[in-house]
Structure 1
């Protein structure tokens, strides 16, 4: 007669010795090894929930983990930082909390992102006129292309939402247009798009004459079978204007600033002497007139940039602000010309 040991799965006979055969098997090395292994390992059942439905505490922990993942994205933190934060929260507050980098990323990609996109579909169905906005960004060797939609609803006002954000192999007009075609077709927006907004690069609108067909704007018109409103970036226009103005200065003030900084920055004796000199001497110097002029006038550009980069600013309002900036600069130039045309007073 043979029996089987449940721990080591060994068959042995008990026909002659009976209980002594069992004791002999229990003293064998093989059974002892399996017995030690069984004592040190937990049952697989311990890793599964014993109840059919989650408890209210489980929902609270899940909500906390989802909130923490959302906080990570909103504050533009790295998922890697949650490795430490998750352990800290688990130790100090809730031992069931598990939201390190892998789980945080999974929550954002598989839960939060689909929920936000699904929530955006209803407002887009209600909106009659939608503008699409694109911009690209380099993240290391990865080219990321952001697609925004801008629409108006009577109860909510002007809204700007992220529609898609994926990496692309490049930023040529063909790649961007194919990417936009997929997004517009997927979200059923072909008939609602009325305007295309992008930076002022040749890829989007060609050159300053805004002609030609090898650009995103022209190819979108062909795909949508309509004439879209083209909107460039007002902030880029203002940046280019101030950059060109600075390049037209009669002196290289950047070189001067670098040399002054290099002369003083590590020499405490020179800095102390300069401080004493500034306290005693008149700091107004005709040679630095252009520097003071640019310092004062850059503030005008900055205030306009703050206004046109607002989320609720329309294209018409942005054009109005740029026109006001142009009028103010014209007025300043007229005053400068009048000032320098006055003949010197002879005593």
Structure 2
């Protein structure tokens, strides 16, 4: 505690430890959405692309939680993605992504990429993925961050494409830096039938890949049940709306299915009206394993440390509780055991230094 003297009055204020020094595992970050605003602006200028204001503005925006709202979000995402048009651009995105996470205290990063988006510029989905994996290995060594890659398919495309991506991901499966450790399913969860992607996830699991689909953000607890029963997730991207049915939430806790919670995304997409409404405390109280994430910081205007700051300042979590969240993020990760052990020891040291 610090004792502060102003005039004749004194009071005590809690020491707030530096959240950038708290080791964290960042498990929900998309390739395109990770870009620095300066990078996307520079690439847009090179290729003569006029970016919409939602990409270039520094202000957080809020969209209605409707199909129309998602369409507006997707338009912004597609505009940013169109600025990545070759190997050098792809390598730059990966390099800067890892550098930025290292600066925020990430010891482990597991990011998602759909190689089909960049395949036309580099000769196919295989070279597109190989470029990402190769640069991830280089950046991991340079910045001292353990890096795993999730190959993610899209609900907006045919399920046969998901099977193709699952087979591709299986060829590069591994637990080292710059290797594929998971298979995901992203985009508007109201689109497509979850059951039609079951075969792709079965292929991925057979190769030893983690199942990390999105679910439980745009749809409620009933869809969480569908995703769990049909895709057998190790983690759920988002999953916050499981809180709407205690039976479903309890089953997630019992099964050890972790949740990648992204408060800034929830608010920007209209799932919750404000940061205060995100049910972080309810999920923690229920015993859920939670990993805070930034999702798409380029668009949601909020990076990983800001999510921890919100947990502290908005949700009132103590430093002990924040340390517990950081430990949970490593529990939910597929980081090598040595990375986890070092991270947990440093989390304990982070708490001890500020006491």
Q: Into which bin does the TM-score normalised by the smaller protein fall?
A: under 0.3
Larger Rg: 1 or 2? Answer: 1
Q: Structure 2-normalised TM-score?
A: 0.26
